[in-house]
């Protein structure tokens, strides 16, 4: 009986750790323009990105922005780029491949629009990093 309880406890801790790993905290995400990056410091913005990237439900598709549109890179503090964002859309690469399709753009939540204000943008090229 003790072994069963211990096994259940370990399983619960593993599930909780996996769920916690999908939470983005303030300071863990950067929005980068052509010359510099800005850290996402507001807890509600970090939670909104977590919800967008790993939340439940379907993410609404968005049209592909035209080539040379202004874009910004979404990067994790100690890791790779996680996507490209335009004023109204996001293209995720290498994250949650079950939620996002390769080469597709998705609607950026209204609460996350404007976080790159004041940054000099990069420009969308015809070739962007491969996604899922």
Q: pLDDT tens digit string along 25-35?
A: 999 999 999 99
Strand partners, 71: 122
The pLDDT of 38-54, averaged and rounded, is: 93
Entry pTM: 0.77
SS (H, E, C) 25-58: CCCCEEEECCCCEEECCCHHHHHHHHHHHHCCCC
What's the full length of the chain, in residues? 132
Whether the CB-CB separation of 91 and 84 falls below 8 Å is answered with yes
How does pLDDT run across 84-114, given as a tens digit for each residue? 999 999 998 877 778 888 889 999 988 898 8
């Amino acid at each position: 009986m003790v072994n069963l309880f211990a096994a259940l406890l370990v399983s619960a801790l593993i599930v909780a750790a996996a769920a916690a790993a999908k939470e983005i905290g303030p300071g863990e995400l950067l929005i980068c323009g052509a010359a510099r990056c800005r850290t996402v410091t507001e807890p509600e913005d970090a939670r909104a990105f977590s919800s967008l990237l790993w939340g439940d439900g379907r993410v609404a598709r968005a049209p592909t922005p035209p080539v040379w549109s202004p874009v910004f890179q979404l990067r994790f503090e100690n890791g790779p780029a996680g996507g490209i964002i335009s004023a109204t859309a996001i293209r995720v690469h290498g994250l949650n491949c079950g939620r996002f399709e390769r080469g597709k753009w998705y609607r950026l939540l209204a609460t996350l629009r404007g976080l790159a204000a004041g940054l000099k943008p990069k420009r969308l090229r015809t070739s962007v990093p491969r996604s899922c």
